[in-house]
A = this chain, B = another copy of it.
Amino acid sequence: MSEIRVRNPVIAKLQHATALRAEDRAVLEALTAQAIELPAHAELVREGDCPPHVHVVLSGFACRYKTLPDGGRQIMAWLTPGDFCDLHVAVLGAMDHAVATLSPSRLALLPRNGMEEITDRHPALARAFWWATLVDAAILREWLVNLGRRPGEQRIAHLFCELLARLRATGLAEDGEMDFPLTQADLADTVGLSAVHVNRIVQDLREAGLIKWRSGRLRILDVAGLESLAGFNPSYLHLLR
């Protein structure tokens, strides 16, 4: 009985928040049944918008980012399968940043109106959405530490450790190996370094036997080694186990 389990990443992720009953899971399945496909570098939401749907990543990578007057870009979050892109916009009224895909992606669009009804009717889901939003903020805090106080090599190592932990939590990493469809320039815009310097650091990590990265796949060869280099402690992700 080699059954293929088609996991819904949203369910897999939110299960770290609260115990979800079959009924809650069914609601999430229904919500994410309709999806759209987008190519890489498609802008889902732009700064100032108040989009009529909540976007949820089902596959692929997206990111939050801001563009500076001088053309520079700072990526402020990687959105991986299961992540909500703009849950908060109803409360804040307008996006203070843009969201775009980093790779070809599948996105679910939840009508914003329906959300309120759902959270009223399913308190566990309301709680889970809250949790997801707060974990987003916790990740942001750790990224701030990363940029403020860690040298380049540790920054990148830390980010790789985090990504592995997050993807593992949604069942999307095996044996330290995962999709990683970003360019080195994307990575540079994430960690606040130049693309050239990122390139040299990545080479160092490769030569140290810590990672293998080619054609959109990243493999952590020595998880313990990379975590200790990065000073990684996953507690800020607030995952189970």
Contact = CB atoms under 8 A, between A and B. Distances in A.
A143 B147 CA distance: 10
Contacts of A220: none
A69 B235 CA distance: 15
How often does this chain occur in the complex, in copies?
2
A238 interface: yes
Given A92-B238, A127-B91, A137-B88, A74 B145 contact: yes
A231 B66 CA distance: 13
Contacts of A111: none
B131 A66 contact: no
B136 A137 contact: yes
11 contacts: A74-B149, A88-B137, A91-B127, A91-B130, A92-B238, A96-B141, A96-B235, A137-B137, A140-B140, A140-B144, A147-B147
Interface of A: 48, 64, 66, 68-69, 72-74, 76, 88, 91-94, 96-97, 127, 130-131, 133-138, 140-145, 147-150, 191-192, 231, 235-236, 238
